[in-house]
A and B are shown apart, each in its own frame.
Chain A
Amino acid sequence: MRIFFIFFFLIIVFSCNNNNNFSENETQTFPKGNIFRYNQTGGLTSLDPAFARVRANIWACTQLYNGLVRFSGKDLSMKYELAEKYELSKDGKVYTFTLKKGVFFHDNPCFPNGKGREMKASDFVYSFNRILKDGTGAWVFRDKVLKAKPLENSEKESKSNETKSQELKNQENKNQELKNDPKSQEIKKPEIIISDTAFKAVDDYTLRIYLEKPFPAFLQMLATPYTAVIPYEAIEKYKKDFRKNPVGTGAFLMRNGLWDERNKLILHKNPNYWKKDAKNQKLPYLDAVEVSFIEDRTVEFNTFFDGKLDLIANLSEVSRDQILEKSTGKVKERFAGKFKVVKNPYMMTEFIGFYQDTTILKDLKNPLLHPKVRQALNYAINRKGLLQALRNNLGIVGDFGVLPKAFPNFDSTKVNGYAYNPPKAQELLKEAGFPNGENLPIITLNTYQSDREVAEYLQKDWEQIGVKVNIELNHPASHSEKVEQGKLQMFRFSWIADYPDAENFLGMFYSPNFTPIGSNKTHFKNEVFDKLFQETSQMPLGKGRNPNYQKLNQIIMENSPVAVLYYDEVLRLCQNRVLYLEADALNSLLLETVKVK
């Protein structure tokens, strides 16, 4: 027994020792060195850009990798990254990129002597072919770039294809030469480079991409994190464990083993980063980025409040209540000046979907197939009240169609959506043959656990016009599964833009995009819409598309296969010591130009 006590005493003494050390540091909560610290809830799953689907992965990959182009600034305009310039052929099908010279990969044991080699066009060919085969980003290229054709058929095809296959053979010969050339021993696997006809390295600094048909938004695809460049040596060495051994060209790099999964990820400054600021000073300014993985939102907020985190995003309701005034959504006075609160419109819309597919729905008398009932449900929602009651006014009232207000160069407010109007809702119900909700069966609203309060709010709103709604809460994974299979008649969902073009949102109502293959969850089908959508997607990008987008948006509103609830806003809390951290509508995090005091 006594031995136990001595042992325990030792533990206490030992931990007290630790405490003392800690108290000395306590006067300075901020770490020494230029370290930026943010917390990541929801879990980082991989540092491989081919898996950069969720926010956590995108944020980390943004620091580690570069692509050809990227979105920049508030208006999300395109900016060159590793590309120096690009040309588009007259038929709109061939993109030719000239790459920057002198860009090196991170130093890593996968290279001879551990020194990162220069990035070449063939690396992009390798990386692009890889995401077609591996990871979650194949949709970026699939059905857009030229499809691989079997070689024996190519002779029978048209002349233009013949020249293409001729080019291909030249490339093959060239690769053969390269193979024999001892200087270019680093290209060990030429067969990967020519395995697909879509991407071609014309020379070390020229990259060509062939499309199946013109797709004006293609450049935006190349700004998604999936399309970052990686060296094939890393994949050969680490295989599937590339996920925790990332090698790229980005502003930060990860040294071996510095991702203690679920605890902490440390990214260090890349001393050989190619980018410089306006004063010709080398980027990045930070020495390191520290990512923690605290799941509990209250603990996360308290840690931030303690000064031990520089940035947190997506607050829980409790923390929101603590910081923001309930009804106005303004920052409470006692926090004014203590830290920065950044509110920014987000390219995300929250919906209720009404399933429309009569080939799957057996009951054709289903009231939700009646457009007037759907419109009535739309009019009955007090969206402003919802945001005030449940979200501290965070978010923008969803009165203007499916496109969120955050879209650059697009006036979404010109679309007429559904403002709160209960008498009108009752009138419509009456016209549909259900005065005051009589004869209406109980409708089930399917949603996920975290959304319970919103569902209950809607339930009350609808009850006021006499529509009885039952709420069913699903596990998030099985919820989306049921939605995809068309098992739910009324369901909650949201949509985040993958790239900042309205096409990405409106595609949700294009009939060839039916789930489970595409994004059309409601199986909405309208010939006028489909035709106009098809036309618009072939138009050059820019303001010229806007009138069509407005028309498309209006068609959806009139047919109301969905009820728009609200457009999201990003809320970020940031310590005062952080400078030059920009927020944009894609909720991206770019740390290469950030400074800390």
Chain B
Amino acid sequence: MNINFFLARILQGIGVLWGVASVIFLLFLVMPANPTSVLLGDNADKETRQKLITEWGLDKPIYVQYTQYLNDLLPIAFHEKNNLENNNYRYITLISLGENAFVLKYPHFRRSYLTGKLVNEILWEALWGTLILAVSAMFLATIFGIQIGIFASQNQDNFLDKAIMGISALGIATPSFVSAMILAVFLGFWWGNVTGLQMTGSLWELDTLSGEYHLKLKNLILPALTLSVRPLAIITQLTRSSMLEVMQQDYIRTARAKGLSERKILYTHALRNALNPVITAISGWLASLMAGAFFVEYIFAWKGLGRVTLEASRDFDLPVVMGATLLMAFIFVCINVLVDVLYGVFDPRMRT
């Protein structure tokens, strides 16, 4: 494996992140709202406003704001110790220089304007919800999508195939917030007593009297199901067409001639080759599922990145929006670098 290729991809990734950070910074500079109004509303007096502006560093020249912003994002950076302590930031001192120090830390996304909570905490709590939701949805979609796709390809052009294709076209066309509402009302409310599902709820639920957290896997079912509708439909169609193509190849005829069972031909010979385009699609979808979970999380009151970002942008809570966008960008970049590197491992032609 060529180490230079690997390094180059990572450097590129960092470049992309830097670009994203700068663009967000610029966007928020030109935004038409006064960030202090987010917290203060109509009743603010001049002194309070001024105090907040100083606290958030908005009175400094733009280049200073930008440097401080990047400094906060870097894992190794130069900081005032006092500032770190006051904000309850976690860090390890590398070199101490009196009041200041070079420290090793997570990127600091500062504190939310609206709630005063550390953005790192907000994102960390929300990230897991989204990851679990996206992975479960993908899992559901892959398992059922491939099976249904194979089934449809076996029944090519008869009634069942057409019905499946029709339904999956509907699945692709339905926006996630519509399917979320339908599933929530049908399975969670009207038939809630039968299914035992609730319209809302998170993975971990607080028990009121004991004050303990309990794992509630059943709360995952509805949002994961909703989120999986679209990838399920797409995977079904991809698998079907890919299977139809593969089943006409010569080696399948050879396999049949050898007298293998149809089942064995399907699952060991055809499927392996037919899955290639499907897997590429899945890896791409995982990243966009995390982004696409916005409305699903909102409707099912599922604690995740999407809901956090949506609410923060509604409230003009800039540090949270910035942090969430950068985190999303980071995930996308990581997945891309990983996929590129893996391609490089498996396919020598890609290493140029």
Contacts and interface: CB of A to CB of B under 8 A. Distances in A.
Interface of A: 1, 4-5, 8, 11, 14-15, 18-20, 22-23, 26, 31-33, 35, 43, 45-46, 48, 51, 53-54, 133, 136, 138-139, 142-143, 239-241, 243-244, 255, 258, 260-264, 266, 268, 287-288, 290, 292-296, 298-299, 302-303, 306, 308, 475, 477-478, 480-482, 484, 495, 498, 516-517, 519
B348 to A, nearest CB: 29
A240 B205 CA distance: 26
A480 B293 CA distance: 30
B252 to A, nearest CB: 19
A288 B208 contact: yes
Interface in B3-45: 31-34, 37-45
A528 B99 CA distance: 57
B34 A4 contact: no
19 contacts: A5-B143, A11-B217, A15-B218, A32-B209, A35-B209, A46-B116, A53-B40, A54-B41, A136-B40, A138-B47, A241-B117, A262-B307, A262-B308, A287-B209, A288-B208, A296-B299, A302-B189, A303-B200, A481-B37
Contacts of A306: 189, 192
Contacts of B193: 23, 26
B88 A239 contact: yes
Nearest to A8: B143
Interface of B: 31-34, 37-49, 51, 86-88, 111, 114-117, 122, 125, 139, 143, 181, 184-185, 189, 192-193, 195-200, 202, 204-206, 208-209, 211, 213, 216-218, 221, 267, 298-299, 301, 303, 307-308, 311, 315-316
Contacts of A299: 184, 199-200, 299, 301
B40 A294 contact: no
B208 A33 contact: yes
Contact of B43 (A26, A45, A139): A139
B303 A263 contact: yes
Nearest to B301: A294
Given A136-B41, A138-B45, A239-B86, A1 B217 contact: no
Contacts, number: 167
Nearest to A256: B211
A519 B211 contact: no
Nearest to A264: B206
Contacts of A495: 42
Contacts of A11: 217
Contact of B37 (A1, A139, A477): A477
B221 A15 contact: yes
Contacts of A293: 301
B217 A266 contact: no
Contact of B45 (A139, A478, A481): A139
Contact of A136 (B44, B198, B208, B303): B44
Contacts of B39: 51, 53, 136
Contacts of A244: 117
Contacts of B198: 303, 308
Given A481-B32, A517-B45, 18 more contacts: A15-B217, A18-B216, A26-B193, A33-B209, A45-B116, A54-B41, A136-B43, A241-B88, A260-B202, A260-B206, A292-B301, A296-B298, A299-B301, A303-B198, A308-B198, A477-B38, A478-B31, A480-B37
Given A18-B196, A240-B86, A477-B37, A266 B206 contact: yes
A302 B189 CA distance: 7
B189 A240 contact: no
Nearest to B207: A266
Contacts of B47: 138, 142
B33 A498 contact: no
Given A18-B196, A45-B114, A263 B87 contact: no
Contacts of B41: 53-54, 136, 480
B208 A35 contact: yes
B116 A262 contact: no
Contacts of B206: 258, 260, 263-264, 266
Which are the 8 A-B pairs with shortest beta-carbon distances? A19-B196, A477-B33, A477-B316, A45-B115, A478-B33, A22-B196, A18-B218, A478-B32
Contacts of A133: 51
A196 B54 CA distance: 22
A36 to B, nearest CB: 10
A157 B87 CA distance: 41
A260 B213 CA distance: 10
A11 B216 CA distance: 12
Given A15-B217, A239-B86, A299-B184, A43 B311 contact: yes
Contacts of B311: 43, 262, 295
A477 B45 contact: no
A299 to B, nearest CB: 5
A78 B200 CA distance: 40
Contact of B208 (A31, A45, A48, A475): A31
Contact of A519 (B43, B51, B192, B217): B43
Contacts of B111: 240
Contacts of B217: 11, 14-15, 18
B342 to A, nearest CB: 21
Contacts of B46: 517
A48 B116 CA distance: 10
B170 to A, nearest CB: 23
Given A295-B298, A519-B43, A263 B116 contact: no
Contacts of A480: 37, 41-42
A498 B206 CA distance: 34
Given A478-B32, A481-B32, A288 B209 contact: yes
A288 B307 CA distance: 27
Nearest to B125: A261
A303 B199 contact: yes
A54 B115 CA distance: 11
Contact of B48 (A23, A32, A139, A292): A139
Given A8-B143, A240-B86, A263-B206, A255 B211 contact: yes
